[in-house]
């Protein structure tokens, strides 16, 4: 059994859905299909929730109608007019959101998640219809009955034990009956039935959760690029696709800029050693990238990829009176925990700590709280460059080659050794691309 997850661009329009249908038809054996919303739809739904918050229900109605029309147009382009229930199913889904948004007495807690998840409920209907149109035994399967989560709305945590039980009772019977379940990424629900979402980009994570619960042979992430690359090809035109990477390397790449995979995706799959394969929906002949455990990797390039994440904020906290005192780090991290801000890169000295965070309106309050501990400086428009490869820490000479390549760049902060597979440093954002190119030349040469 395999899980095939298709991202937003793989369901964006009639030609993408036709490519998706070919990919699903070409696979053999049992398959579970997981789909994202059509490209751009979740962004639009975020805007809808803002408008609803502001009470602009007319604006909301216009947008929801446009959303329905987009799906109906695609159905028409695909010649799905004959489908017995597609149009009414799509319509019913939209009616439900509209009713929720207009609910008298205000919006219930968690209402936003129900709205955000609508894109997947719609796209999965289209996918079922398009697969059925060539005789594939696709059935619609409601992810909210399987992906059980806590009630952390906006970015809920999955309950993996419950998901294992629910997958067996809901999905396995469909597979045994020879059907192809088509379900939604991104969405789930709490034990008491309130809809939740796993956080932006969470469909990959959904696919991994289902793959682990069902003991899949592999989880395939079908997208619009041919795999993980040695660098972002928009920055380095000669970047190439990696045939293989380890879970660790993929996690580092996902965390530091490569948008191909949601960072949590590999977590459920590591223990069961289920490979993740990244495939290109629009180039099915490309083998893609296979992500596996360290011992399963065949090639031994010490450096796999150079990633670059823009728009990072660096915070530095200095407290001279902490010299020789304990509890400094704990106090700092308590602040981030309280404000629920994720810290990416960290470097410490005896009396100061530098760390990176994503921009957020909550940073002002974070800085105010940190000022109680020490002197705080904040620098924005920084970029994180990560040199990723599973043997970086343990291969002599790599650090020297990195430093040589970036000799002319002002490195503001550096972090190495916390993971064997990552050497990370912070530069001014505008110096990022040139630095990435220099590193790429050093480790991968120029165009083959």
The contact set with ligand ASP (CB under 6 A) reads 7-8, 36-37, 42, 119, 185-186, 200-203
Q: Which residue has the tokens 């909301």?
A: 60
**Is position 119 an interface residue for Mg ion (rule: CB under 5 A)?**
no
Pick from 314, 312, 306: nearest CA to 383: 312
Sign, CA torsion 407/411/415/419: negative
Tell me how far apart the alpha carbons of residues 89 and 69 are, in angstroms, rounded to a whole number: 13
Q: Which does 200 bind (CB under 5 to 8 A by kind): ligand ASP, Mg ion, none?
A: ligand ASP
Q: Which does 123 bind (CB under 5 to 8 A by kind): Mg ion, ligand ASP, none?
A: none
C-beta separation of 22 from 3 below 8 A = no
Cβ-based burial of 300 (10 A; exposed 0-12, middle 13-18, buried ≥19): exposed
Nearer to ligand ASP, 352 or 360 (CB): 360
Nearer to ligand ASP, 30 or 36 (CB): 36
Q: Sheet holding 413-416: strands in order across?
A: 343-348, 352-357, 305-318, 375-388, 422-428, 413-416
Q: Build a one-symbol-per-residue string for 177-216: x at contacts with Mg ion by CB under 5 A, - elsewhere.
A: ------------------------x---------------
**Residue 209 CB, nearest approach to ligand ASP (Å):** 13
Q: Which does 328 bind (CB under 5 to 8 A by kind): Mg ion, ligand ASP, none?
A: none
Using CB positions, name the residue nearest to ligand ASP: 203
Task: Report the Cα–Cα distance between both ends of the chain, in Å, rounded.
Answer: 37
Q: Which does 117 bind (CB under 5 to 8 A by kind): Mg ion, ligand ASP, none?
A: none
Q: Which does 186 bind (CB under 5 to 8 A by kind): ligand ASP, Mg ion, none?
A: ligand ASP
Q: Helix, strand, or coil here: 262?
A: coil
**Residue 31 CB, nearest approach to ligand ASP (Å):** 19
**Residue 12 CB, nearest approach to ligand ASP (Å):** 11
How many CB atoms sit inside 10 A of residue 191's CB?
Answer: 11
Strands 244-246 and 289-292: parallel
**Is position 263 an interface residue for Mg ion (rule: CB under 5 A)?**
no
Using CB positions, name the residue nearest to Mg ion: 201
**Residue 319 CB, nearest approach to Mg ion (Å):** 40
Q: Helix, strand, or coil here: 338?
A: helix
**Residue 295 CB, nearest approach to ligand ASP (Å):** 30
The residues of the shown chain that bind Mg ion, judged by CB under 5 A, are 7, 201
């Amino acid at each position: 059994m395999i899980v095939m997850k298709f991202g937003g661009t793989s369901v964006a329009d009639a030609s993408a859905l036709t490519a998706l249908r070919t990919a699903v038809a070409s696979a053999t054996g049992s398959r579970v299909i997981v789909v994202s919303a059509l490209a751009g739809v979740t962004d639009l739904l975020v805007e809808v929730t803002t408008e609803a918050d502001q009470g602009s229900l007319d604006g909301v109605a216009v947008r929801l109608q446009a959303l329905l029309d987009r799906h109906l147009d695609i159905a028409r382009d695909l010649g799905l007019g004959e489908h017995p229930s597609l149009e009414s199913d799509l319509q019913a889904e939209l009616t439900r959101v509209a009713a929720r948004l207009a609910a008298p007495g205000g919006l219930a807690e968690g209402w936003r998640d129900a709205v955000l998840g609508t894109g997947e409920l719609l796209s999965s209907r289209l996918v079922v219809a398009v697969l059925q149109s060539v005789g594939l035994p696709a059935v619609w399967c409601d992810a909210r009955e399987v992906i059980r989560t806590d009630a952390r709305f906006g970015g809920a945590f999955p309950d993996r034990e419950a998901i294992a039980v629910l997958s067996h009772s809901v999905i396995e019977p469909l597979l045994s009956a020879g059907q192809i379940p088509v379900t939604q990424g991104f969405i789930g629900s709490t034990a008491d039935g309130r809809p939740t979402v796993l956080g932006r980009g969470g469909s990959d994570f959904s696919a991994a959760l289902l793959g682990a619960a069902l003991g899949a042979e592999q989880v395939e992430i079908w997208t619009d690029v041919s795999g993980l690359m040695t660098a972002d090809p928009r920055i380095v035109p000669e970047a190439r696709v990696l045939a293989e990477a380890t879970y660790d390397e993929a996690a580092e790449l996902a965390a530091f800029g490569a948008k191909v995979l949601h960072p949590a995706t590999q977590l459920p799959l590591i223990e069961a050693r289920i490979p993740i394969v990244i495939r290109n929906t629009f180039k099915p002949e490309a083998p893609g990238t296979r992500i596996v455990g360290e011992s399963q990797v065949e090639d031994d390039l010490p450096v796999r990829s150079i990633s670059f994440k823009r728009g990072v904020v660096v915070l530095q906290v200095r407290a001279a009176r902490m010299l020789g005192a304990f509890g400094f780090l704990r106090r700092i991290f308590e602040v981030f925990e309280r404000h629920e801000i994720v810290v990416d890169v960290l470097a410490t000295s005896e009396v100061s700590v530098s760390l990176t965070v994503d921009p957020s309106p909550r940073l002002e309050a974070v800085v105010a709280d940190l000022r109680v501990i020490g002197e705080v400086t904040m620098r924005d428009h920084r970029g994180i460059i990560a040199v990723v490869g599973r043997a970086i820490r343990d291969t002599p000479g790599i650090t020297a080659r990195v430093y040589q390549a970036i000799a002319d760049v002002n490195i503001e902060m550096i972090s190495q050794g916390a993971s064997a597979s990552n050497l990370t440093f912070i530069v001014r954002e505008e110096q990022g691309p040139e630095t990435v190119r220099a590193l790429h030349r050093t480790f991968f040469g120029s165009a083959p």
